[in-house]
Amino acid sequence: RKEVEQDPGPFNVPEGATVAFNCTYSNSASQSFFWYRQDCRKEPKLLMSVYSSGNEDGRFTAQLNRASQYISLLIRDSKLSDSATYLCVVRGSNYKLTFGKGTLLTVNP
Amino acid sequence: GAGVSQSPRYKVAKRGQDVALRCDPISGHVSLFWYQQALGQGPEFLTYFQNEAQLDKSGLPSDRFFAERPEGSVSTLKIQRTQQEDSAVYLCASSPGVNTEAFFGQGTRLTVV
């Protein structure tokens, strides 16, 4: 079993739709959780950190359930510019960031 | 520059050739990571440096892969006797501390023919 597993995708949604990404992780000792965004042929960039209490940044909401070892990202009112690959990322008790495979999102006009 | 810089951006190597990939991290960043990203996959950890010390090389796929950061700033990832399965994007990331945000370079796309 891979350490971080994500919805395989791809997701194709119309502008204005709400889309949810799901992720599970296997290492219960994991300490930090993130969503990264990667545009085609570009480097990954931090979208947001994920906290146990849940956190929101504009149209983006991230949730963490430590008991279920589950992370989610919700994008509301999706825009064309949201089209990208979304990577679920987990950091253990050390420095290492472990990435999921990524889920490709395409927002259509 | 303000960000992590990697060179070359693209490299085509003949099978069996040695290659060297360079990473210039953000100035003053303590931590430096190398990742390998195959097409359609997420980045896979290769190795980690804290200053000049290579603390973790558990992700290096074979002894053909070697990384160094001799003065705690610029890092080089060397691949000897390249194979077709080495074709991937090699990403470098740096962060100011140990458990702080990591900033990625644009990567080096290596194609082995």
Answer whether A94 touches B (CB < 8 Å). yes
Is B106's pLDDT higher than 80? Answer: yes
Q: Which residue has the tokens 């190795």?
A: B47
pLDDT single digits (tens) A25-77: 999 888 899 999 999 999 999 999 998 888 999 999 999 999 999 999 999 99
Answer for the pair B17, B87: CB distance below 8 angstroms, yes or no.
no
pLDDT single digits (tens) B52-97: 999 999 999 999 999 999 999 999 999 999 999 999 999 999 999 8
Answer for the pair B80, B105: CB distance below 8 angstroms, yes or no.
no
Residue type at B41 in one-letter notation: Q
Answer whether A102 touches B (CB < 8 Å). yes
Answer for the pair A72, A7: CB distance below 8 angstroms, yes or no.
no
Strand partners, A23: A6, A71
Strands A55-57, B31-37: pairing is unpaired
B104 to A45: CB separation less than 8 angstroms, yes or no: yes
- State chain B's mean pLDDT as an integer: 95
Predicted pLDDT at B100? 85
**Average pLDDT value for residue range A8-16:** 95
Predicted pLDDT at A93? 73
Chain A's closest residue to B31, CA to CA, is A95
B106 to A42: CB separation less than 8 angstroms, yes or no: yes
B77: its two tokens = 């990832």
Is B1's pLDDT higher than 80? Answer: no
Cα-based distances in Å from A4 to A95, B3, B23, B71? 16, 27, 27, 34
pLDDT single digits (tens) A17-30: 999 999 999 998 88
Closest to B43 measured CA to CA, from B104, B112, B111, B100 = B104
Chain B residues with beta carbon closer than 8 angstroms to that of A97: 33, 45, 93, 102
Answer for the pair A9, B71: CB distance below 8 angstroms, yes or no.
no
Strand partners, A87: A36
pLDDT single digits (tens) A71-107: 999 999 999 999 999 999 999 877 889 999 999 999 9
Give me the residues of A, 19-58, that contact B with CB < 8 A.
31-32, 42-46
Residues of B with CB under 8 A from a CB of A: 31, 33, 35, 40-45, 48, 50, 55-56, 91, 93, 98-99, 101-102, 104-107
A14: its two tokens = 């119309």
Q: Which residue has the tokens 């990591």?
A: B102
Looking at the complex, report in whole angstroms how far the Cα of residue B6 sits from the nearest Cα belonging to chain A.
Answer: 11
Cα-based distances in Å from B37 to B87, B98, B109? 9, 22, 9
| Buried-exposed string A10-22: b where 16+ CB fall within 10 A, e elsewhere | ebebeeeeebebe
Looking at the complex, report in whole angstroms how far the Cα of residue A27 sits from the nearest Cα belonging to chain B.
Answer: 16
Q: Smallest Cβ distance to B106: which of A43, A98, A99?
A: A43
Predicted pLDDT at A51? 87
A32 to B31: CB separation less than 8 angstroms, yes or no: no
